[in-house]
Structure 1
């Protein structure tokens, strides 16, 4: 979690098409998004990750196991919930 900055809530962004999507409430800046993206791409080579800080949604293409992806996000320091 990025504790070095204070962030105001940003407006919600339009949805993105992906295999999996996770709401990450504490993903508030580009640094947070980068930590999550890096963790996912290192663990699941070949996946495509789009981390939208405005909506606080992480979109993952190329992975099917939501539990495993959510676990990597948690290991990176961020709680997440699957978006249906």
Structure 2
């Protein structure tokens, strides 16, 4: 059964940023769908639907690979 997780990320400013993050997260094992709501001057919302829960470390690595974006503090 798929689960949906929401993460907040900083540094995203445009659709290109959102696509880069989507591409990196989609490449992770079990990820079915990724949605990104860009907030250019704040914390963007990244929603991931996957067959398993992703760890913060996996998401952090994907954000870094996509362009040096960072998880926002909770």
Scaled by the length of structure 2, the TM-score of the pair is: 0.69
| Greater Rg over alpha carbons, structure | 1
- Superposed, 1:35-74 pairs within 5 Å as 35-44=20-29, 46-54=31-39, 56-62=44-50, 63-67=52-56, 68-74=58-64
Aligned-residue Cα RMSD (Å) equals 2.2
Counterparts of 2:16 and 2:27, CA distance in 1: 16
Q: Which runs of 4+ in 1 moved over 6 A?
A: none
Contact 2:31 2:48 in 1 (8 A): no
Count of residues in correspondence between the two structures:
66
TM-score of the superposition, structure 1-length normalised? Answer: 0.62
SS in 2 for 1:40: helix
Name the CA shift for 1:46/1:19 in 2 (closer, same or farther; >3 Å). closer
Measured in 2, the distance between the counterparts of 1:40 and 1:82 equals 19
Which runs of 5 or more residues in structure 1 are unaligned?
A: 1-17
